[in-house]
Amino acid sequence: MLNIMFISFSLAMDCFAVSIAGGSTVKKPCFTDALKVGLFFGMFQAVMPLVGWALGHSFRNMIESFDHWIAFCLLAAIGIKMLYEAFKKPGDKKTIITKFPTLLILSIATSIDALVIGISLAFFNTPIYLSVIVIGLFTFVFSITGYFLGHKIGKAIGKKMEIIGGVILIGIGVKVLIGHLL
């Protein structure tokens, strides 16, 4: 159980960081939007290990060579878009992470590592259903917390938080890329 909790915590950290970045861009956060972020991230973080576990080792060999590039490109693209928007004039349209396409892309990008974790869980006699429930719950709670925390931080430091949010997304993408290339 302790291993499952450590895995859950580490998988939830990317979603937490993305939620902070997303929460920093809203003028007035509402619980419905935070719930949407938490549900999307939590659901994807829970389902991807289950998919990885079900597909087993052969799928790992097929995706392992390029999964990090997918995550990097998706996270970097949204991070660059956030940076671009941080320097736009007030009143111009901003990226809102609660919009379906953006939330879907972020959920996929942050859960690719969870897919690989699921593949490894298949080799370690780990109770998969307990694992995915704990992973999903950790991510759900961390994402909602991050969304509201991001708003508070963003409110305190203003536009700088949008820049930090964009840099965080790009940084997560680079971390994923470097982690797989080294």
Range 94-121 average pLDDT? 84
What average pLDDT does the segment 155-181 reach? 78
* pLDDT for residue 140 is more than 90: yes
- Looking at residues 111-135, what average pLDDT do you find? 82
* 3-class state of residue 62 by DSSP: helix
pLDDT value of residue 158: 64
Number of domains in the chain: 1
Per-residue pLDDT band for 87 (boundaries 50, 70, 90) equals: confident
Residues 6+ apart with CB under 8 A from 39: 140
At 92, is the pLDDT very low, low, confident or very high (cuts 50, 70, 90)?
Answer: low
Contact (Cβ atoms closer than 8 angstroms) between residue 133 and residue 46: yes
Report how far Cα 142 is from the mean position of its chain's Cα atoms: 10
Among 4-13, 63-72, 101-110, 122-131, which is the least confidently predicted range? 63-72
Tell me, rounded to whole angstroms, the distance of Cα 153 from its chain centroid.
Answer: 19
Domain that holds residue 73: 2-181
